Structure 1
Amino acid sequence: MRTFQFATALAVSLVCTAIPVHAQAPASHDYPSRPIRMIVPFPAGGPTDLLARVVGQRMGELMRQPIVVDNKPGANTIIGADAVAKAAPDGYTLLMAIDNTLVMNQYLYAKLPYDPVQDLEPIGKVATTPLVVMTHQAGPQSMQALVAQARAGAGALSYGFGTFTSQLSGELLKRTLGKEVVSVPYKGSAGTTQSLLTKDVTFTIDGITTAMPHFEKGTLRPLARLSAKPIPTLPNVPSMSDVGIKLPDIDVWMALLAPKGTPAAVVNELNRALTQALASKDVQEKLLGAGLLADASSPQALRSFIASEAARWRPVISEAGIRID
């Protein structure tokens, strides 16, 4: 009898082991049955972190399970993205990614540990944030003054950045200026903003989330936006074209993804909660106050958008000659 029970148990164990991980994922009517982890590939305090916390809280309320933000910064968002790519595709590990996680990194690294298309499942676009050239109190009074200072060679200029989108923007701006500008990397917007407050760099190119309180106090000054669209909270900030500088229309966008193989029913449930959260007026107001514009989409639309952005930025990055390894 014991021999039969052991053999039966062993057979069941072997069958379960042979079943693919995604086939063992929970049925949609049981999902979610426990807390969900949302990985943010940046330190706490930046725009992506704030976005994840505001949207994650509302999604958790709608799904009746808490969504816990887990910050995994480093390596140009690779550490956080790779953790999600290798997680079980059961809907309990999500990634709040930005554009360079899903588009630019694949053209910067010879060996990327994750494939943004093959390893991640789109859930939906979440938000966009405009990029702004900004300086400190003692810096240039306007974008035109910064350009004049650069072209006159009046002292060394430096700029700080916390994401590759900001770095790429800075490289394109340097080419337009025709002058050497020292680039200084930081981990996310919190470090970038602090470097400007302490006057370690002349200017930064970044989203406006962490800088907004300092704009209001007058300790930091926005000079120009890289997006063609006006910024609702900074209506008087000119575009690059307004000040005679030709650059691509650039902003930073964020999206929510899961590991590849996550069941369609679970992806649809997450998209439903995400869409409802972003439609909430109080969520939109919190995001707008931080310089983030809610921007929902379907999983299919996000997949197409990622492909179009990849086609857009690949030649730009190649022409700029930027490689990290």
Structure 2
Amino acid sequence: MTAEQLISFARGAPSLDIVDIDGLKAAAVRAFDADPAGITAYGNSLGYLPLREWIAAKHGVAVDQVLVTNGSLQADAFLFDRLVKPGDAVVVERPTYDRTLLNLQQQGAEVHAVTIQPDGIDTDELGKLLESGVRPTVAHIIPNYQNPAGVTLSLEKRQALLALAVEYGFTIFEDDPYADVRFRGEPLPSMLSLDEHDVVVHASSFTKTVCPGVRVGYLVGPAALIADIAKRATSLYISPGMVAQAIVHQFCVSGDIDRSVEKVCGALGERATLLAAALREHIPGVRFIEPDGGYFLWVELPTDVQVDKLAPAAAERGVAVVKGSDFLLDGGQHALRLAYSAVTPDRIDEGVRRLAEAVEAVRGQG
């Protein structure tokens, strides 16, 4: 199976046709023209100051509350390293990002997964868990177009989470790389913006709005916490990549970021709609919530379809998917995460046809 023949619903990355190559090339020239000394030298571990200032203005915070990282996954790792000790309780959504689960397990955390509903994490279930005596240090929440479930946390639940964090003394880790990739509806305020008690640390990334290759993510949180993490970053790599950050900064201040977001949202909105229609047409009994934004659609298959059998059968037919069980401590044997971001519209129906063939091939196999 050649790369040209493979249709991949596996990875949350944009296809090349929706990356603003020309805008990035022009931003790179401007970056070198504007600050050649600054971007070719070592920086400090907090990141490129002009970009930090832009991020601070976007979120309405002081610049000393911003630390730029090599992608948002490194922001996750820094925060977990700082706040989670072996044996500490941590709350995650069920399902949640597979690398988050892996990182927390490697950290030695006691992971408590709380069910996701169509409007986000079940705050009543979380409340009962807290009342039972569990005392998490962190609750990891992906509030907008959640990876992998695709759902968005309601305003009511954002407020409920903040109240629980204040009452029980844990940090909300608002992991929010998809917020700007919105197809319909109005944006909800971040928990960071609603926080009056310094219980929220916010992470985001330019991976989903500019391109993955820049590897520029960031943390926003209380200044003392950011300063502590910066010390750790200094000993790890001195500074993150100044060139990439300067290019992103120029891309942002020029307004190219807004045009890029608009293009990404238009393209992915079309792809999500086409994927949903193809699933309804070709796979009877499939269940899903059509997302209002983001990169992912979570699919519940009929119970006689085991994804451990389905994934290799799909690969044999030239379509790549990710098993739902990868995003859960237990369960997910009948679920898939489908990323529609990298599949161009002319390939989506064919990809689902191949997946449907694989479903029929493995039905009833225990």
Normalising by structure 1, report the TM-score.
Answer: 0.28
**In terms of Rg, which structure is larger?**
1
